[in-house]
Chain A
């Protein structure tokens, strides 16, 4: 593709040992995001989406494959200059902001570590950053526990922005917030992206948010990208059966939304311990699985070069 790529994962695999078992968290995951683009990574718990986030940030080393930032492969441990360019905002800011530091101290730290402003200008820059995320100036003297959930997430964002990054991994940034607060934080994220040209990797399980914030989406199931493409295309014409199931399960608030949800046969089968599949990892849960699905992992393919899916029996083949 001719488009410019800011960050790229190429054939990334990662396994962990849990007791005497080996858990394959990621299997040959490839994806990319352009400058100032939002790529959503969706999947349920255990799909490997947070592992992918850590690998993209360069805090964890993949077993295979590599991460490229502006076409250059990351070498671990990351040099300080590279760490500055990759920032993260996590789900629970109460556990990521130091409770013994004021918000001002937390936001000032990246400025000092990366020597981004002259020491005399630190206070002014902190105020600027707080203003940028919509926090009143007096927030700088407050501790995280004195802030509301939405304010804390803004403070965490201000700290990430202080480093003047090119990319922010947003790992469930609004999942702990009420919808009325979530909406305001999402607006702030979009607004900042437009002003600063940030690239976002938006990791979430909330597909209704993804629909409205991400240009492209990658669907992860048990460590594999099963479908990826422009958000609109993936939501309107999902190809992989897992994507279809995921979309069909979203609770929505209107008949108009119900109408755009794909249909999925209601699961009447009783739950058993899941069978292992040597092929598609979704085969044990898939009522449309064919023989090959159990034998060989399906290749990820595309008809238009934009919308990819790894499914032997995709949705539009039969229905």
Chain B
């Protein structure tokens, strides 16, 4: 990436604790993440690791009583954690958009696609009337490889296939030419062939428009196909970040390595190996590195917060193993 340009999105030490009746759960435990303009970045992790929550915090969609937030989220020149309603109005749906996992749940069942897409277009200020908006909606749908935009525009979501609805969502997310699109498991609810097409479309369209993408996923294969850089998240922390080719060639964090070992391979070398144990209880998380109770390399130092070590250019690992190597 172009290191000279400042990042478009800069998440710095983001932590989130929720007070529950049975204790305080520190769900995000210091997330550091940047996205540069035009870059495709993936945030990968298993369920409950906090990846979707991170996305919702970035979008300003997380608002729960009893939450205590630390850290900073900067987007362009805005401090998102301090943004008021007017500020969000300026960004959300315009410079900053989101594609949700389940297209059927994300679209309103009682309005036609034309209504919903026009609302988005009017909000972006590219059109001033619904008629003008429809004229812009047609090419927006054509861009996501929808052959008969008018039929789709006059349909309700339930009249369209999952794949078509997903394309409509992509069109909605891109029509106002955002600087950053957050995509939370797009296409996961769809068949593999449709999922592959969805990702290819997003790849081509964001390339053409120069939009950056932060892709939230649990699927390492999807990361490899789509992203340029990747963050691996475990139990509320980023444990490793690297350029995609680098991570897939040489994953370094014990959790990342275990995650790769758990993926069944198409080459058929037999069943993969799972990870013993489970995700920690966030109310009483293990001290230091949260992975250490499941880690084959755990040692006493793991009870301290792990150092973040740059093992190769742009490849950082939050693990004490690499600190030792550098010292010795």
Q: In the assembled complex, which residues on chain A have CB atoms less than 8 Å from the CB atom of B258?
A: 180
Residues of B within 8 Å of A247, CB to CB, are 266
Q: Is A15's beta carbon under 8 Å from chain B?
A: no
Q: Is the CB of A183 within 8 A of B248?
A: no
Is A212 a contact of B191 with CB atoms below 8 Å? no
B146 touches A271 (CB 8 A): yes
What residues of chain A lie closer than 8 Å to B276, measured between beta carbons? 184
Cα distance A54–B257 in the bound complex, in angstroms: 39
- Bound complex: CA of A272 vs CA of B145, how far in Å? 9
Least Cβ–Cβ distance between A260 and chain B, in angstroms: 6
B250 at the interface (CB under 8 A from A): no
Closest to A187 in B: B271
| A253 with B164: CB separation less than 8 A | no
Q: Report if A205 contacts B (CB, 8 A).
A: yes
Whether B275 is near chain A, meaning CB under 8 Å from some CB there, is: yes
Q: A211 and B47 in contact (CB under 8 A), knowing A205-B192, A250-B192? A: no
B274 touches A270 (CB 8 A): no
B163 touches A212 (CB 8 A): no
Chain B positions 170-212 with a Cβ under 8 Å from a chain A Cβ: 191-193, 195-197, 200
A179 interface residue per 8 A CB criterion: yes
Assess A257 versus B46: contact at CB under 8 Å? Given A183-B273, A249-B193, A271-B146: no
Q: Given A253-B248, A271-B163 in contact, is the A179-B263 Cβ separation under 8 Å?
A: yes
Whether A232 is near chain B, meaning CB under 8 Å from some CB there, is yes
Contact partner of A212 (CB less than 8 A), chosen from B195, B224, B270, is: B270
Q: Does B328 contact A (CB under 8 A)?
A: no
Q: Does A186 contact B (CB under 8 A)?
A: yes
A252 close to B146 (CB less than 8 A): no
Known: A187-B271, A271-B145. A208 touches B263 (CB 8 A): yes
Interface residues of A (CB under 8 A from B): 44-45, 148-150, 178-187, 190, 205-209, 211-213, 231-232, 235, 245-247, 249-254, 256-257, 260-261, 266-273
28 sampled A-B residue pairs with Cβ under 8 A: A45-B191, A150-B278, A179-B46, A180-B262, A180-B275, A181-B275, A182-B262, A183-B264, A183-B271, A183-B274, A183-B275, A206-B264, A211-B265, A212-B265, A235-B268, A246-B192, A249-B196, A250-B192, A251-B192, A251-B220, A251-B221, A251-B222, A252-B221, A253-B221, A253-B248, A257-B265, A261-B266, A272-B147
| Known A183-B274, A252-B224; 11 more pairs at CB < 8 Å | A150-B278, A180-B274, A182-B274, A183-B275, A211-B265, A212-B271, A249-B195, A249-B196, A251-B196, A260-B266, A260-B267
